[in-house]
Amino acid sequence: MFVKLCGLRTESDVAVAVGTGADAVGFVLTTSPRQIDVDLAGRLVAAVPEHVLTVAVVRGITAAEAGELALKTGVRALQLHGDYPREAFDELADLPFGLIRATALGPETDVRTGAFGEELLLIDSPVAGSGEQWDISRLEDAPPTGQWLLAGGLSPETVAGAISVAKPWGVDVSSGIESSRGVKDHGRMREFVAGARASLP
């Protein structure tokens, strides 16, 4: 089970995430309680070992702006969160990082990983970053294909059950591992990764 811990903001957050065995860590670079600036993101990215995927997370900016931020921080992947069109992914295709398409599940959502040229697909709550749970049983009628991550309202308490229902390739969490908005709880980070991995058959 691929596990991404998102919204990290401190060196200790990164150290704990790596210590848990997380597969990916995310840094939010646009408006959010978890936003950090490019310089700090670059320092945190530099502290992550090569085997852990580093991800810049952006929302509400152009593809060109997003690509510039990703290049400045040195991440290995860029997550475009929201209603980015296929053209945005095409614009970034030749840059030296992978692409993650993060979107909510709607009637017109293309749930095929790679449909926009991305390496990973992330299906999130309609209110990203809110911690609100959503009806993941809807995925049973439109199961995503390929390497996709389940997000939105996950926590150490709910992740195993969510995995059993949605059967994702991986999971992503941010608010569910916090002690207060934007502040990571290192104990909950460890519990989340353990819970996700324990759900494996």
CA dihedral defined by 65, 9, 42, 58, rounded to 10 degrees? -20
Q: Under a CB-based contact definition with an 8 Å cutoff, are residues 144 and 112 in contact?
A: yes
Coil, helix or strand for 115? coil
Coil, helix or strand for 28? strand
Fill in the DSSP letter of residue 149: E
List beta partners, residue 149: 122, 170
Token pair of 173 as six digits: 């969490």
Burial of 199 (0-12, 13-18, 19+ CB in 10 A): middle
Could you read off the pLDDT of 1-33 as tens digits, one per residue? Answer: 999 999 999 999 999 999 999 999 999 999 999
Question: How far apart are the C-alpha atoms of 104 and 122, rounded to whole Å?
Answer: 8
Give the pLDDT confidence score for residue 107 in this predicted structure.
82
Could you read off the pLDDT of 39-49 as tens digits, one per residue? Answer: 999 999 999 99
Question: How far apart are the C-alpha atoms of 123 and 81, rounded to whole Å?
Answer: 10
Could you read off the pLDDT of 113-153 as tens digits, one per residue? Answer: 999 999 999 998 766 555 567 678 778 777 899 999 999 98
Mean pLDDT, the chain, rounded, equals 93
Average pLDDT over residues 68-95: 97
pTM over 0.85: yes
Range list of β-strands (E), 34-140? 53-58, 77-81, 98-104, 120-124
Q: Which residue matches tokens 């860590």?
A: 25
Asked whether residue 82 carries a pLDDT value surpassing 60, the answer given is yes
Q: Under a CB-based contact definition with an 8 Å cutoff, are residues 88 and 109 in contact?
A: no
Give the pLDDT confidence score for residue 138 in this predicted structure.
77
CA of residue 34 relative to chain centroid, distance: 13
Burial of 103 (0-12, 13-18, 19+ CB in 10 A): buried
